[in-house]
Amino acid sequence: MSDHEFDNSLRVTPNIVIPAWELEESFIRASGPGGQNVNKVSTAVLLRWNVSRSSLPADAKARILRHWKPRITADGDLLVNASRHRSQGLNRQDARKRLADMVRAALIVKKRRVPTKPGRGAIERRIAAKKQRSQIKGARGRPKLDDD
Is the distance from CB of 25 to CB of 92 less than 8 angstroms?
Answer: yes
pLDDT tens readout for residues 113-145:
999 999 999 999 999 999 999 999 988 887 777
Residue 134 inside a domain? The answer is no
DSSP-derived letter for residue 72 is B
Residue 141 inside a domain? The answer is no
Is the distance from CB of 136 to CB of 98 less than 8 angstroms?
Answer: no
Residue 127 inside a domain? The answer is no
DSSP β-ladder status, 44-50 and 77-82: antiparallel
Q: What is the CATH number of the domain that holds 36?
A: 3.30.160.20
Residue 76 inside a domain? The answer is yes
Single out the residue of 105, 79, 110 nearest to residue 13, CA to CA. Answer: 105
Is the distance from CB of 21 to CB of 10 less than 8 angstroms?
Answer: no
Three-state DSSP state, 66:
helix
- Residue 148 confidence (pLDDT): 56
- Residue 2 confidence (pLDDT): 41
Please determine, for residue 19, whether its predicted confidence score (pLDDT) is greater than 90: no
CA angle, 22 as apex, 18 and 28 as ends, to 5°?
Answer: 110
* Integer-rounded Cα radius of gyration of the chain: 29
> Where is pLDDT greater, at 13 or 140?
140
pLDDT tens readout for residues 51-91:
777 777 787 888 888 887 888 888 878 888 887 777 778 88
Three-state DSSP state, 80:
strand
Residue 124 inside a domain? The answer is no
Range of the domain at 80: 3-107
- Residue 46 confidence (pLDDT): 83
Residue 128 inside a domain? The answer is no
Residue 56 inside a domain? The answer is yes
The domain tally of the chain equals 1
Three-state DSSP state, 48:
strand
Is the distance from CB of 82 to CB of 47 less than 8 angstroms?
Answer: yes
Residue 48 inside a domain? The answer is yes
Percentage, residues of the chain above pLDDT 70: 86
β-sheet with 23-28: strand ranges across: 23-28, 44-50, 77-82
